[in-house]
Chain A
Amino acid sequence: MNIVVLMKMVPDIVEELEIAPDGKSLDLEAIRPIVSERDDHALEQALLLKERSGGSVTALAFESRDVDEVLFTALAKGVDRAVKVSAGEEPLSTAEAAALMARVLPGVPNLMPADLILTGCQGIDDLDGVIAPCLAEHLRTPYLGIITGIETKEAGHATVYKEFAGGSRGQYVICLPAVLGVQAAEKPPRYVPVAKVRAVMKSRTIECVAAPAKEEASQLAIGAMTKPQAAGRAEMLEGDPTAVAAKVVEILSARGLA
């Protein structure tokens, strides 16, 4: 079972996000990039599959700020190869990235055909496309998303579990090779000590490949980017914890809730 995991960097939304002077895009200089949370789950799921059934896992990402740390962390967690794809300075929309990735993958030495391509089922910036289904269509492979479990007992097929609402899941069989969008790995993503990542930085290398020229352009043109103007806004309670707690209890009492 050879697995490719696609990872991408997104802004850490715990931090304040600033709008660029053009009024239409994110100020990328001001963000703190982190790996997309669902992609981290996809990586964990790939490592769990490798531990159960053998094979290899390759982590692959477009070059961007701090991506080396993410790829070295993936190596420290147990992936066999880490590949960084350089595609120029211009940020790629999701649809553009998927189209370009479909042309990059066949050119990476000794990578394709992979049995499974895993990535997060959704990114927080997926405005014009979603990477997994876009890639599946470009590669003409089957796709299923919102996946929370994968079993590969039968040659040529995988049994996968898709999440619905209220804790219900659907069990599906999908022909391989396939692209799967992972919602959550079967276990929380593993932790790897910083010291181990630093050791890997000295002993392992990230393979670098250059993407072909971009041919596809996003079909969307953003008119304006703004911070949400809330239709309603909470009445803010101010003071130290004891003071706000007293105010909350007043509110609850008035409603018969305390």
Chain B
Amino acid sequence: MAGNVWVLAEQWRGRLSDVTFELLALGRELATGLGTRLEAVLLGKDAGGLAAGLGAADGVLYVEHPTLAEPNPEAQCHALATLVEARKPHALLLPLSNVSADVVGLLPARLKIPLVNFCRDVTVADGQLQARAVLYGGKLEVTLAVPSPAVVGVLPGSRPASEGRKDGAPAVEDVKVTFPAEARVRFEQYIDPAPGDVDLTQQAALVSVGRGIQTKDNIELAEELAQALGGAVSASRPVIDQGWLPLTRQVGKSGATVKPKLYVAAGISGAPEHVEGMKGAELIIAINTDPQAPIFAVAHYGIVGDVLEVLPALTEAVKAKKG
């Protein structure tokens, strides 16, 4: 019989992350397909109570240690590597979130086992895991067999989190792991942003700008449309990195997760890191010069065109409608 399927139960600041439940839903399918057990691995300090939320798993392996209180890739990797070497799971599913991505990179290197990164989906075929991974910002996909054992880095959104939220406390096994006396990486504190000028999560309409906006000055075109719609301007990572808008305006993996009634993606290609933060919007309208841009796969309506021409036309049309 194959080794068990493991899922890292990501917890951050005392809560299980949504991606944990997505991975549990995915992991359940894989464990069933392989005819094996699904186990969740929970790491933390005074976090054992969170196991009660992991009812979708057949069992929970819990490692308690002070260095696991907050995300510490060195400590998390040490704990996971110790467990993997002792128990030999078939595969370990880890979320590609900012909390866990470092472990996705470290763990396979430490264990000298394969990593299959950027997975959008994993299935079972002929008794083996098959992965579909996205590369080049979502522009190409690859399919491949997942060796065993392997670490599988899974993009958020692989399954609905609701499918992995199950009642019923699984059996919890407290596993003792000996940690190095001296930690090479030490968590000090969180630095939370000062309240921003705008709370993106509360906006009914967002006009979000990406690389296609070209210059800082052009953001004014998005501001005008946002104003006409009664919403706010947000952005994808490249715009924030250029310092054109503050971090509080970022939508995506490192920024806010938004679900407005209207999301206008202006000059945004649709990399997985961005889509993660906006795919729940009720209506998505995307404008991009590239007809193959991945954003058109998540948008409800698409416009192939230059945002510098389309945004002013939209503003005028909305203003005219509103009188």
Q: Which residues of B contact A127 (CB under 8 A)?
A: 116-118, 133, 135, 142
B222 within 8 A of A: no
Q: Decide yes or no: A223 and B142 within 8 Å by CB, A129-B108, A145-B73, A165-B253 being known contacts.
A: yes
Tell whether, in the assembled complex, residue B98 and residue A129 are in contact, meaning their CB atoms are under 8 Å apart: no
Tell whether, in the assembled complex, residue A224 and residue B143 are in contact, meaning their CB atoms are under 8 Å apart: yes
B115 within 8 A of A: yes
Tell whether, in the assembled complex, residue B98 and residue A227 are in contact, meaning their CB atoms are under 8 Å apart: no
Tell whether, in the assembled complex, residue B109 and residue A134 are in contact, meaning their CB atoms are under 8 Å apart: yes
- Which one of A59-67, A195-203, A234-242 is at the B interface? A234-242
- Interface size on B (CB < 8 Å)? 97
A163 within 8 A of B: yes
B144 within 8 A of A: yes
A161 within 8 A of B: yes
A232 within 8 A of B: yes
B137 within 8 A of A: yes
Tell whether, in the assembled complex, residue A168 and residue B110 are in contact, meaning their CB atoms are under 8 Å apart: no
Most buried by B among A10, A124, A228, A234: A234
Tell whether, in the assembled complex, residue A258 and residue B102 are in contact, meaning their CB atoms are under 8 Å apart: no
B53 within 8 A of A: no
Interface residues in A43-98 by Cβ distance below 8 A to B read 95, 98
Pick the contact of A164: B12, B284, B294, B305 (CB < 8 A).
B12
Most buried by A among B241, B255, B257: B241
A130 within 8 A of B: yes
B269 within 8 A of A: yes
Q: In the complex, how many angstroms separate the beta carbon of A86 from the nearest chain B beta carbon?
A: 24
Tell whether, in the assembled complex, residue B192 and residue A234 are in contact, meaning their CB atoms are under 8 Å apart: no
Tell whether, in the assembled complex, residue B241 and residue A41 are in contact, meaning their CB atoms are under 8 Å apart: yes
Give CA–CA (A122, B70) in the complex, Å. 22
Q: Which residues of B contact A233 (CB under 8 A)?
A: 296-297
Q: Decide yes or no: A167 and B255 within 8 Å by CB, A127-B118, A220-B116, A222-B144 being known contacts.
A: yes
B33 within 8 A of A: no
Tell whether, in the assembled complex, residue B185 and residue A174 are in contact, meaning their CB atoms are under 8 Å apart: yes
Tell whether, in the assembled complex, residue A132 and residue B105 are in contact, meaning their CB atoms are under 8 Å apart: yes
B193 within 8 A of A: yes
Q: Which A residue's beta carbon lies closest to that of B201?
A: A166
- Which one of B20-28, B55-63, B161-169, B313-321 is at the A interface? B313-321
Tell whether, in the assembled complex, residue A14 and residue B294 are in contact, meaning their CB atoms are under 8 Å apart: no
Sorted nearest first, the 9 A-B pairs with minimum C-beta distance are A133-B105, A234-B302, A130-B105, A230-B297, A167-B193, A142-B184, A241-B313, A137-B109, A219-B114
| Interface set of A (CB-CB < 8 Å, partner B) | 10-11, 13-14, 16-17, 19, 24, 26, 37, 41, 95, 98, 121-122, 124-130, 132-134, 136-138, 142-146, 159, 161-175, 178, 181, 183-184, 187-188, 219-228, 230-238, 241-242, 244-246, 248-249, 251-253, 255, 257-258
Given A128-B115, A181-B105, 12 new contacts (CB under 8 A): A14-B211, A126-B117, A133-B109, A162-B71, A168-B191, A175-B184, A219-B147, A228-B141, A234-B302, A235-B300, A244-B310, A258-B321
| Interface set of B (CB-CB < 8 Å, partner A) | 12, 70-74, 97-99, 101-102, 104-106, 108-110, 113-118, 130, 133-145, 147, 184-193, 196, 204-205, 211, 229, 238, 240-243, 247-248, 250, 253-257, 261-262, 269, 283-286, 290, 292, 294, 296-305, 309-310, 312-314, 316-318, 320-322
